[in-house]
Structure 1
Amino acid sequence: MSDAPAPRPRAHRRAWIWWSAAALVLLLVLAGVWIAVRALLAKGELEAAVPVAERVQASLLAGDAAAASADAADLADRTASAASLTGDPIWRAAEVLPWLGPNLRTMRVLAASVDDAARDAIQPLAAEVDALGPAVFAPEGGALDLAPLEAAREPVAAAAASVAHAREAVDAVAGHDVIGPLAEARERVAGLLGQADDGLDALDRALRLVPPMLGEAGPRNILVLVQNPAELRSTGGIPGSLLVIRTEGGAFELAGQASASEVGRFDPPVGELDTESRALWGENPTRYLHDVAFLPDFAKGAAIAREMWAGHTGVAVDSVVAVDPVVLALVLEATGPVAMPGGEELTADNAVRVLLQDVYARYPDPAAQDAYFAAAAQAVVARLAAGGVDPQKLLTALVRAGEERRIFVWNTDPAEQDVIAGTGIAGGLPGGPTGGGTGGDASTAAFGVYLNDLTGSKMDTYLHVEIASGTRVCRGDGLARSEVQVTLENTAPADAATSLPEYVTGGGAFGVPAGEISTSVHVYGEPGAYNLGVLAASTGEPVGYHPTSDAGYTLSKIVVQLAPGERASYRFGFLAGAPGVVETAVQATPTGGTIGRGTLALACDSPYGEE
C-alpha cells in the first residue's frame, strides 16, 4: 500500500479559478482590442463616407449620372464596411456596458443607418438619375412628359421610406451621452439624412401629385388665384386676377381668365362659415371672391372660391392654386423675360416692382390694372408652355415659393389632398394636420401671424414687417411662456397722401387718412394654449386686444394704424397647454418684400422682458 499523500482538491480548485480568471481577463482584453481596432476602422470609413455622400447629393441635383453612380458605389462600399465592422456579436455584447455601451450603440446605429440609406436609396436613385433629373419637370411644346414621372414613383417612394427609417434610427440615439468626436459625427450624419429625407419626401409627394393635376387620368381644370400683397389678406393678398388652366395628359393651356371684380357679389352667400370664422371675418369671404383670402386656412377659402367660379362661369374646377407676383418673378428666373403689351419686358428683376407699384401709377383705372395683371400671368403661362425653361431654376423657384408660403394648393379629390397634408403648400393653420410648420412636434410651439389690410387700398407695398419669437420655462409645472413680437412700419414717403395715386392710398374712403396704413394683426397660438394678452414692446404696457379662438386655436387680434414713417411693435403672450415646449416656429402672411425674422430671449424675472 502506497504512503503517497492524498491530492489536495482545494489547491487544484484555486489553480483552476486563477487560470479561469486569467483566461477571462485575456478574453476581455482581446475583446477590447478587437472592438477598439474595429471602432477605429469604422470611424475612418464613416468619416470618409460623409464627403462622398455630399458629392452624391450634389451630383443627383445636377443630374450628373456618371458622377452620381461612381460616388454612390464608393459610398455603398464604405458604409457596408462600417456596418460590418460594428455589427458583430462581440460589439453588440459590449453595448450593455456602462459608459462604453452608449458610444458603441451610437456608432453601430450610425453605420447601419447610412448603410441602409446608401444601399436602398442612394444607389437605386443614382442609377435612375437620367430619369429623375430636374429636366423631367420642364415642359416642352406645351406639355410635360408624364411617363418618366409615373415610372419614378415606386423607386422614389421606396427610397424615401428607407431614408426616413434611417433618419428615425439616428434620431433615436440623439440623446445618448457620447464622446465629442462621435457626437459631431452623429450631428453631421443626422443633418445629411435630414436633408435627404426632406428632399425625397418632397419629390415623392410631387410624383404623386403633379401627374394627376396635369390630367394623367383625364381633363382637369385648375383655378389660379393671383394674390396681390399690395393689399394684404391672411394667405398673402387680395385675389385680383383669376386664371383657369386646363390640363390633359401632361398638356396645359390657359382656358379662361377674369378679375375678381367681374365675378361680383354673391347674394345669398356662397356656403356657410362656422360661428368662429364668421365672428372673425364677417360674411364677406362668402360674398366676394376678393375676400376668400381673409380665411387663414387656405382650404376653406379655396372651396368657396371654387363655388363662386362655378356660379359665375358654370365651370367646375378640380383644383385651386394661389400664387403671388413674387412667384411670377421667381419663375421668370427660369423662363427669361416675357413681352408685355406696349413692348415692355417683364423680368425677374422688375416684376415685383412693376406689378405692385408701377401699374398703379400708369393705369388709374382699376379695369386697366386688372387687364395688365391678367396679361402678365398669361405671358408667363405661355412662356412656360413654349419650353426651353431652365429646369433647375424652375424647381428652385417653386421650392423657394413653397418655403415662403407664396404658393398654395387645394384639390377636390381627398386622396390628392392627403398627399400634401402637413406641408406648407396646403396652407393650413400652424402645426395642424394640413398646415405643416412643426409637423406635430410637441417640443415646438407653433404660431401664426396673419395680416389683413383695413385701408381699402394698395398701401401694403410700403408695409415693412418684422417678426421675432421666443419661449422659456420658468414655472414649476414645466409650462413654457412663449411670445411673438410683431413690428410694423409704414415706409411710404412723407407726402404719400398727395404723391401717390388715390387708388393706392384709398383716398380715405374707409376712414383711414390717405397715406396711412391700417392693418389687422391676428396672432394664433397653438390649440390648448392660454392667452396672456398683448403688450406694447416699447413700454411693456398692455394694449387693447380682442381675445378669441378659431378652430381650436387661441388667438389675439389688434388693429394697427400707421402714418408714413411710423413704426409700432407689439408682443403677444401665450402659455403652453402642456409641458415640453422648448422652441417656437412662426408662419406668417407673406408680403411683397422680405419679412425680418428674429429671436426673443425671455427672462424669468420679468414676464414680458428680455435677458
Structure 2
Amino acid sequence: MNRRALWIGLAVLVGAVVLFAAWAAWTTYQVNRDLTAAVDDATALRAAVEGDDDDAVQASLGRLRDHSAAAADRTAGLTWSVLEHLPAYGDDARGVAVASAVARDLADAGVEPLVRVSDDLDLIVPAQARIDVAALEALQDPVAAGRAAFDDARARLVGEDSTGYVERLRTKYRELTRQVDDAAAILSSADTALRVLPTMLGSDGPQDYLLVFQNNAEIRATGGLPGAVSVVRADDGQVRMTRQVAANTFGRTDRPVLPLTDSEEAVYNEILGTYFLDANLQPDFSRASDLWRARWEQVYPERLDGVLSVDPVAISYLLGATGPVEVGGVTLTEDNAVDELLSRVYQRFPDPAAQDRWFRRVARTVFDKVSTGVGSPQELVRAIADGVREHRVFVHSFDDSLQEAIAGKAVAGDLVTDPDAAPQVGFYLNDGTASKMSYYLRYDVSVDATYCNQGVQGLAGHATLMSDAPEDAASLPDYVTGSYATYGGKPGSQLVQVYIYGPVGGQISALALNGKPLRGPGPILDQGRPVLNATLLLDPQEKVDLTWRMKTGANQTGDIRVSVTPRVGSGSTSMPVDSAC
C-alpha cells in the first residue's frame, strides 16, 4: 500500500511537472508572440504618425498598448516567477520580464502623451517667418512626461546585466536598450529646447543672435572657418535677418578682445583673441561665442543675446526638408549643397569678394526658405536633430539661466572640464595653410578602453588622416591651395594641426606618427585637461596614422565620450566608448 501510494505520488508529481512545463512553454510562446506583435505595432505607429493618418495612429497605439500589457501581465505571474529562479535560464526570464514591463509602461506613459500632441508638430516650426510661442509652451508638459518615462525605462534596462543571456535574447535586449537610450536622448534635447525656446524667440522682449556659417573647407576645431555671419532678430516668435557681414572684414586687433588664459596662449597663441576668424581654433563653442561677441560689439551696435552656428552639411540636411533653393543661377539641393558650398564656389568665383557675396546670398535664401515654412515639420525637426547630433549645429546663450539649461547637451558644444563628468577625449583639427584644402581631408578616429585599475581607465587612440586631393591639385585655384609654400609644401599640400585632449586630470603619452614616436614638448594643461599637438603636412593622396595612449582621471569609471571635429560629408565623427571598468 505504501509502495502504491509512493508510485501514485510520483506519478502526480511527474504529471504536475509535465503540465507546468507545458504551461510554461505555452506562456513563453504567448509572451514572444505579444512582444513580436508590439514591435510591429510600434513600427506601424511610427509610419502612421509620419503619414499624418489619425485613424491609423489611434489603432496602432491601441494595439501596442494591448500587446505590451499582455506580455507584461504574463511575465508578472507565478509561472514566470518560477522560471526566473531556474538555473541557467532564470536571468533570461528576468530579462524578458523587464523588457515586457518597460514596453507596457512606455506605451502608456511615454508614447501616448507624445502621440496625443503629434498633430501639433506643424505649430513648432516657422511659418511666415514666425514660430507660435504659445504652441511651444503647450508642448512642454507632454514632452516632459515622455522624457521622464523614457529616462525611467533606460534606467531599468541598463540596471539588468544582459551578459549572461542567450545570444538571441541578448542581441534583442541590447537593441531595445539602444533604441530606448536614443529616444531618451532625443526627448531630453526636445524637453530642453521647449524650455528655452520661448525666451530665445523673444517672448520676453527682442533677442539678437549672431548666426555663424562655419566653412569646413578651412577646418577649425568646432567645424570650420566662420565665413558669412548674420544677425537674426527674434521678437515674440517673429524671426528675421537684419544684418550680414563677411567675417574676414573684422581683420586683426592689436590685442585680444578678451583676456586669454596662459594655457590658451601656450596652445593657440594670442591669435585666438585678435582674429575673429580664429576664435574657434579651440574646441569650446561657448568660448568661441564669447570672443565673437566681444569683437562684434566693438564694431556693430547690436548687443548680442547669443550665437547660433551651422555648417554646409547641416544646410544640406535642411534643404532635404525644405526642398531646393536657387541662388545666383545655382540650384542648391540636399545632394549637391556640400560640394557647391565647399568646392565649386571657388572655381565659379575666383574673386574672394564675389565668393563672400554669394555666401551671404545663400545664407539669406536658406534662412528665408526655412523661416517661411516647410511641407514636412517632421523632416525639418529631424534635419536639425541630425545636425545637433553630429556637432554641426550649436547654440550659445548669454543668458546664464538659458545657457545652464543647455549646458552638457550636444547643441552647446561644451569642452568638458568637470572631473566628475563622464570622461571626454577630444580630437580636434585646424587648417594651417590658410587654404580651402580641408575639403579633401578625410579622417577616422577610434579610442578603446584597454584596462581599468583602481578607478583609472587606460585608453588607446588611433587616427587615420588622408588628403584625398587629386594628384594634379596644383591646378586648383590659388585661393584653394593657400599659402603652402610658407610651410615647405607644394601646391595642393595641406598643413593640418591636430590637438588631442585627454580627460580632465588624465594623462597623454606615446604619441606616434606611422609607428615612430613624435618628439617635442610634453602635454600642456588646458582647464585641467592635458593637450598634445601634432603638425602634419599632407601631400595629395598621402595617408598617415597617429597613435597615442591615455589615462583617465581618478574615479572616472564611466563610458568615454570621444569628441571629434565634424568632417566634410554626412555622419558623425564623435562616438561613445564602453568603459573598461
TM band (smaller chain):
0.7 to 0.9
For residues 92-127 of structure 1, the C-alpha deviation after alignment (integer angstroms, 9 at most, x for no partner) is: 577566556434433332222211111112223223
Q: Secondary structure at the match of 1:482?
A: strand
1:421 aligns with 2:407: yes
CA distance in 1, matches of 2:562, 2:527: 18
Deviation at 1:293, TM superposition (A): 0.8
Gaps of 5+ in 1: 1-16, 600-611
For residues 14-41 of structure 1, the C-alpha deviation after alignment (integer angstroms, 9 at most, x for no partner) is: xxx9999999999999877776654443
Instruction: Determine the structure 2 residue equivalent to 1:505.
Output: 481
Deviation at 1:515, TM superposition (A): 2.9
Aligned pairs for 1:207-286 within 5 A: 207-286=194-273
Cα 1:283–1:562, aligned 2, differ >3 Å: closer, same or farther? same
Query: Given the alignment, which residue of 464, 488, 494 partners 2:465?
Result: 488
Cα 1:62–1:424, aligned 2, differ >3 Å: closer, same or farther? farther
Instruction: Determine the structure 1 residue equivalent to 2:445.
Output: 467
8 A contact 1:86–1:111 mirrored in 2: yes
Q: Secondary structure at the match of 2:428?
A: strand
Query: Given the alignment, which residue of 508, 515, 518 partners 1:531?
Result: 508
For residues 535-579 of structure 1, the C-alpha deviation after alignment (integer angstroms, 9 at most, x for no partner) is: 123xx2212344223222223211011233333222122234468
CA distance in 2, matches of 1:598, 1:208: 26
Instruction: Determine the structure 1 residue equivalent to 2:57.
Output: 68
For residues 37-72 of structure 1, the C-alpha deviation after alignment (integer angstroms, 9 at most, x for no partner) is: 544433432232222123223333444332222111
Instruction: Determine the structure 1 residue equivalent to 2:316.
Output: 329
Q: Which amino acid aligns with 2:495?
A: S
Instruction: Determine the structure 1 residue equivalent to 2:579.
Output: none
Q: Which amino acid aligns with 1:566?
A: E
Q: Which amino acid aligns with 2:58?
A: S
Instruction: Determine the structure 2 residue equivalent to 1:117.
Output: 106
8 A contact 1:246–1:255 mirrored in 2: yes
Deviation at 1:301, TM superposition (A): 0.8
Instruction: Determine the structure 2 residue equivalent to 1:603.
Output: none
Q: Secondary structure at the match of 1:527?
A: coil
Deviation at 1:476, TM superposition (A): 7.6
Cα 1:582–1:545, aligned 2, differ >3 Å: closer, same or farther? farther
Q: Secondary structure at the match of 1:293?
A: coil
CA distance in 1, matches of 2:339, 2:483: 22
Deviation at 1:313, TM superposition (A): 0.8
1:542 aligns with 2:517: yes
Bigger shift: residues 457-466 or 220-229: 457-466
Cα 1:290–1:188, aligned 2, differ >3 Å: closer, same or farther? closer
CA distance in 1, matches of 2:574, 2:388: 21
8 A contact 2:493–2:539 mirrored in 1: yes
The total of aligned residue pairs comes to 573
For residues 465-490 of structure 1, the C-alpha deviation after alignment (integer angstroms, 9 at most, x for no partner) is: 233443433x8879654332223333
Deviation at 1:390, TM superposition (A): 3.6
8 A contact 2:284–2:413 mirrored in 1: yes
Deviation at 1:413, TM superposition (A): 2.0
Cα 1:62–1:285, aligned 2, differ >3 Å: closer, same or farther? farther
Q: Which amino acid aligns with 2:428?
A: Y
Query: Given the alignment, which residue of 135, 138, 143 partners 1:151?
Result: 138
8 A contact 1:160–1:197 mirrored in 2: yes
Instruction: Determine the structure 2 residue equivalent to 1:409.
Output: 395
Deviation at 1:327, TM superposition (A): 2.1
Instruction: Determine the structure 2 residue equivalent to 1:295.
Output: 282
CA distance in 1, matches of 2:89, 2:484: 73
1:361 aligns with 2:347: yes
For residues 404-445 of structure 1, the C-alpha deviation after alignment (integer angstroms, 9 at most, x for no partner) is: 211111111233223333322211236x669xxxx955xxx6
Cα 1:529–1:292, aligned 2, differ >3 Å: closer, same or farther? same
Instruction: Determine the structure 2 residue equivalent to 1:386.
Output: 372
Instruction: Determine the structure 2 residue equivalent to 1:553.
Output: 529
For residues 555-605 of structure 1, the C-alpha deviation after alignment (integer angstroms, 9 at most, x for no partner) is: 321101123333322212223446897976532112334689799xxxxxx
Bigger shift: residues 321-330 or 32-41: 32-41
Q: Secondary structure at the match of 2:516?
A: coil
Instruction: Determine the structure 1 residue equivalent to 2:357.
Output: 371
Deviation at 1:491, TM superposition (A): 3.2
Bigger shift: residues 260-269 or 221-230: 260-269
CA distance in 2, matches of 1:484, 1:194: 26
Instruction: Determine the structure 2 residue equivalent to 1:312.
Output: 299
CA distance in 2, matches of 1:500, 1:178: 57
Deviation at 1:215, TM superposition (A): 1.9
8 A contact 2:324–2:331 mirrored in 1: yes
8 A contact 1:361–1:501 mirrored in 2: yes
Instruction: Determine the structure 2 residue equivalent to 1:6.
Output: none
CA distance in 2, matches of 1:362, 1:38: 69
Q: Secondary structure at the match of 2:99?
A: helix
CA distance in 1, matches of 2:30, 2:436: 65
CA distance in 2, matches of 1:385, 1:76: 38
Deviation at 1:245, TM superposition (A): 0.6
Instruction: Determine the structure 2 residue equivalent to 1:608.
Output: none
8 A contact 2:566–2:572 mirrored in 1: no
Bigger shift: residues 253-262 or 507-516: 507-516
Query: Given the alignment, which residue of 337, 340, 350 partners 1:351?
Result: 337
Cα 1:34–1:414, aligned 2, differ >3 Å: closer, same or farther? farther
Bigger shift: residues 329-338 or 99-108: 99-108
Q: Which amino acid aligns with 1:199?
A: I
The structure with the largest alpha-carbon Rg is 1
For residues 292-318 of structure 1, the C-alpha deviation after alignment (integer angstroms, 9 at most, x for no partner) is: 111201111111211221221121111
Deviation at 1:454, TM superposition (A): 1.2
Query: Given the alignment, which residue of 519, 542, 551 partners 1:566?
Result: 542
Cα 1:198–1:64, aligned 2, differ >3 Å: closer, same or farther? farther
CA distance in 2, matches of 1:104, 1:596: 36
Q: Secondary structure at the match of 1:294?
A: coil
Query: Given the alignment, which residue of 406, 413, 426 partners 1:448?
Result: 426
Q: Which amino acid aligns with 1:568?
A: V
Cα 1:532–1:507, aligned 2, differ >3 Å: closer, same or farther? closer
Bigger shift: residues 214-223 or 264-273: 264-273
CA distance in 2, matches of 1:510, 1:136: 54
Gaps of 5+ in 2: 1-5, 576-581
